[in-house]
Structure 1
Amino acid sequence: MFDSRHIKTFHEVVRAGSYSAAARALGYTQPAITQQMKALERSVGTPLFVRVGRRMRLTEAGEALARHSAVILESISTARQQMESLTRLRAGKVTVCAFPSAGATLVPEALAELAAAHPGIRVELQEDEPPESLRRVVRGECDITLAFTYPGLREQVPEELVEIPLLEDQLTVLLPTGHPMARRRAVQLRELAGERWIAGCLRCRANFLHECAELGFAPEIAFTTDDNLVVQSLVAEGLGVAMVPGLVLSFLVHRKVTGRALDPASRRQVSAYLLREHLEIPATARVLAALRTVAERRVGC
């Protein structure tokens, strides 16, 4: 309904008291001021000024608009400043959802990169496993989610989402340091067929059972837990061995536990997922770029 330029000119006419004074203040010609006020009156559908001798007086509609014009202009100015901050990456909020091992490794490193380059961008964190974490993006509960897939257990990704591959995470076996195979650089899964196992999250457990079945054995699962620190503690006490993602080795805390690679190698794909249109949001794109930088650095290690 309103053109912000016309509101600014109207506000100056009211402040200055005449078209000519407003023209001088704004650097316009008086006819230009007159045309803008006529255009504003057409848009509101009623006169805003009447002449009384040589003076101009506000109509009732003009007085009403005058009461709001300063607030309108201040709101426009505030909105413009916020938009500039968002587009120039001085500000912005991005919500990131990650599964636990990514939340303990990739995300903190990416946030450190981001804080150094763009301290005005605020990131809120959530934790969830796929496929529920993918649904969170679709529902608008988060902007970016980090999720993983296994080669033989890949689920359908919602069509609204774009997948950005980050890295391949090699699976490892956690063993007590006194285990006979702890001295090796790599172990074969079939060699551990007689062990008791600690299994992880539902998707990781499904992949583990699938790989064991491919090798012709059904593992004895003694304990099941989603908590990577609990897995380490159980292994440390000799209560079983565990197949875990390589990211977990970044926060391996027990000195009585060692990680050994699988031979042949087994990997899962770690990717970022977001709505396609969010790729165009500067703050979201910046967070995604930081995640990709950290992932590339880990691949190069």
Structure 2
Amino acid sequence: MEFRQLVTLKMIIEKGSFTGAADEMGYTQSTVTSHIQALEQFIGAPIFDRMGRKVVLTDVGHRVMEHATVILQEYEKMQNLNLSNGEITGEIKIGAAESMTVYHLDKILKTYREQCPNVRISLLNINCNEIQSQLISSEIDVGFMLIRNTSKDVKIIKLNEEDLVLVGLPEKATTFNQMNNGQWDECFITNEKGCSYRTDFEDYLRRNQITPAHKMELWSIEAIKRCVMTGLGVGFLPYVTVEKEIQDNKLIIIPYTKPIEPMPLFIGHHKDKWVSPAIQKFLEVTKEHFTYVVN
């Protein structure tokens, strides 16, 4: 077994394919394949199930990746034993939901880049449940999560609480109280399944036996807001994402009984992951940002 084979394995998992790993590493696809074949020969079992273009780790593959992660982390520790002039180098992979990316992360990344110009940053926009899964599998280093239930395998730091609001045009202000036997004559415009605050609102509707007339799934918060502002329906979003539109009287908050509690916002990393100088500095910059924002 060679160290580079473990690096290739990690890259395949991050990119989701042999082709993506080859492009990122500057290898031919045949070289990537040969690395994995050699590793499988060393292990004595297949590491991936090949299903068309998609690759999925086998049970053995998951165990191999656990050991590979430890080895690669130890290598990274050795790289950081002698930081020249205290300079922080390396790489950090961040997972964040769209609301975090658009309304907070730009300022955090700007400050971090000023303080750590030689750290490579990768940013992945995914929903909060997927962020937690990728933290557990070590596909990302840190993740921002608007989520209520966190895994025991993830070490978390609470940053803030985000208010959640039901919004629509002013003429829809009383729409939530105008129902016929639980039928809500409104279109609920929402984002993808798995989003934590969408799940919260759908659970609320279910508990109260309320059924919207229609549901529309869109790909981004900006798309949801634009459709709500044209009168197509209502949306349930973190207040920070609609604050400006509310201040400009383009949207209003629609009142409803027993409003849903604010959603905790965490930053987290795997509990067993080595916190490199690059990650530690990112955590510090993030906490400083939210100390300023909250206070």
User: Smaller-chain TM-score range?
Assistant: 0.5 to 0.7
Once superposed, which parts of structure 1, at least 4 consecutive aligned residues long, lie more than 4 Å away?
79-82, 187-193, 250-256, 261-265
Q: Is the 8 A contact 1:278 1:284 kept in 2?
A: no
Residue of structure 2 aligned with 1:199, choices 190, 196, 212: 190
Structure 2 residue 267 is the aligned partner of structure 1 residue 269: no
Give the CA deviation at 1:144: 0.3
Aligned-pair CA distance for 1:126: 0.9
Q: From the superposition, tell whether residues 283 and 189 of structure 1 become closer, same or farther in structure 2 (CA, over 3 Å).
A: farther
Does 2:142 match 1:164? no
1:15-52 Cα offsets, whole Å, 9 max, x none, are xxxxxxxxxxxxxxxxxxxxxxxxxxxxxxxxxxxxxx
Letter paired with 1:211: Y
Separation of aligned partners in 2, 1:274 and 1:86: 26
Q: Is the 8 A contact 1:138 1:161 kept in 2?
A: yes
Question: 2 CA distance for matches of 1:212 and 1:81?
Answer: 52
Aligned to 2:171: 179
Assess, with a 3 A threshold, how the Cα gap between structure 1 residues 227 and 284 changes in structure 2: closer, same or farther: same
1:258 corresponds in structure 2 to 251
Letter in 1 for 2:265: V
After TM superposition, give the deviation of residue 259 of structure 1 in Å. Answer: 4.4
CA distance in 2, matches of 1:92, 1:146: 20
Residues 209-236 of structure 1, C-alpha deviation per residue, up to 9 Å, x if partnerless? 2112344422233311231111112112
Deviations for 1:138-189, whole angstroms, at most 9, x for unmatched residues? 2222100112224xxx3x51x332121111110122212x4253xxxxx896
Distance 1:208 1:277, change over 3 A: same
Say whether the 8 Å CA contact 1:89–1:121 is kept in structure 2: no
| Equivalent in the alignment of 2:147 | 149
Partner residue of 1:112 out of 110, 113, 120: 110
The Cα of 1:257 is off from its aligned counterpart by: 3.4
Tell me how far apart the structure 2 counterparts of residues 149 and 227 of structure 1 sit (CA, whole Å): 18
> Unaligned 5+ residue runs, structure 2?
1-76
Cα displacement (A) at 1:245: 1.2
**Residue identity in the other structure for 2:90:** G
Q: Which amino acid aligns with 1:205?
A: R
Assess if the C-alpha contact under 8 Å between 2:198 and 2:236 holds in 1.
no
C-alpha RMSD of the superposition: 3.3
Letter in 1 for 2:154: L
State how far apart, in whole Å, the 1-side matches of 2:248 and 2:166 are.
Answer: 15
TM-score (norm 2): 0.61
- 2: CA distance, partners of 1:168 / 1:85: 36
Corresponding letter in the other structure for 2:214: I
User: Cα gap change, 1:249/1:290 in structure 2, threshold over 3 Å: closer, same or farther?
Assistant: farther
Do the aligned partners of residues 250 and 98 (structure 1) sit closer, same or farther apart at CA in structure 2, a change above 3 Å counting? farther
Which aligned pairs between 1:275-294 and structure 2 lie closer than 5 A? Answer: 275-278=270-273, 280-294=275-289
What secondary structure is seen at the aligned counterpart in 2 of 1:84?
coil
Task: Name the CA shift for 1:297/1:261 in 2 (closer, same or farther; >3 Å).
Answer: farther
Q: CA deviation at 1:297?
A: 2.8
Report percent identity of matched pairs. Answer: 14
User: Who is 2:72 aligned against?
Assistant: none
Structure 1 residues 172 and 292, CA, compared in 2 at 3 Å: closer, same or farther? same
SS at match of 1:234: helix
In 2, the alpha carbon distance for the partners of 1:291 and 1:127 equals 17
Q: Decide whether the 8 Å contact of 1:190 with 1:215 is kept in 2.
A: no
- Give the 3-state SS of the residue equivalent to 1:233 in structure 2: helix
- Matches for 1:119-138 after TM superposition, within 5 Å: 119-138=117-136
Unaligned 5+ segments in structure 1 are 1-78, 182-186
Cα distance change on mapping 1:196 and 1:237 into 2, 3 Å:
same
Q: Counterparts in 2 of 1:176-255, with a 5 A limit?
A: 176=169, 178-179=170-171, 181=173, 190=177, 193-202=184-193, 203=195, 204-249=197-242
Cα distance change, pair 128–253 in 1 and its aligned pair in 2 (3 A): farther
The alpha-carbon distance between structure 1 residues 115 and 174, as it changes in their structure 2 partners (threshold 3 A), is: same
